[in-house]
Amino acid sequence: MLESVVRVIDALLIFLRPLVFAAGALTAIGAVTSWAVRTRRISPFSGAARFVRDRVDPWLIAPVERRILRAGGTPYSAPWWALAAVVLGGLLLISGIQFLRDQFVMLLFATTSGYSLIAVLTKWTFSVLRIALFARVISSWVGGSPYSKWWRWSYVLTEWFLAPLRNVIPTIGMIDISVLVAYFGLGILESVLIGAMLK
């Protein structure tokens, strides 16, 4: 059964990769032309400008522009933020599906070989902790609060081991390197635990 799931995910990835690339390429073309119209590199009275304002801006640029204006940004940057959102969204989609496929392959390997199910669960636990560390770093970049619903889970999962590290590891200027130390420490601890389980 797991083999058929892996095959279906492989087929989905084969279908999605060119689709995401095409979406990114079309968004890039739309973003460049919209930016050119907004900055008057293309005459605002030309047919191309009318096409961009009628067909591209309403569904691609306008939703992003509203968010940027609410955040205090300039509308000229909206095409680039739209492009970044599509590219990052596509990369996250493909990466998430690839991650899911890799987990099914690992589970398939664990069921057909001597690899323990406990080792797989241990690997998953450390992967979730690493994802939570990445989420904390991203939340510090975008001004996320540990009390907001979007970032709270990452603080709950990691604060129990980051707080003692912060007490021991000094900061370098304004930079807190405890997250970096924790990331590498998790990798070492995972290797030691899985190595001990497989002996």
Residue 110 reports pLDDT greater than 90:
no
Please return the burial class of 141, using the count of CB atoms within 10 Å of its CB with bins 0-12, 13-18 and 19+: exposed
* Model confidence band, residue 131 (pLDDT cutoffs 50, 70, 90): very high
CA-CA distance, 47 to 119, in Å (whole number)?
Answer: 62
Whether 57 has a pLDDT exceeding 90, the answer reads: no
Interatomic CA distance for residues 168 and 186, integer angstroms: 17
**Coil, strand, or helix at residue 170?**
coil
Q: Kindly report which listed range (60-64, 66-70, 100-104, 172-176) carries the lowest average pLDDT score.
A: 172-176
- Can you tell me the mean pLDDT for 52-81? 86
pLDDT score recorded for residue 154: 93
Specify the pLDDT at position 87.
94
* Span of 23-37, 38-52, 178-192 with lowest mean pLDDT: 38-52
The pLDDT of residue 150 is 87
pLDDT category at 114 given cuts 50, 70, 90 is: low
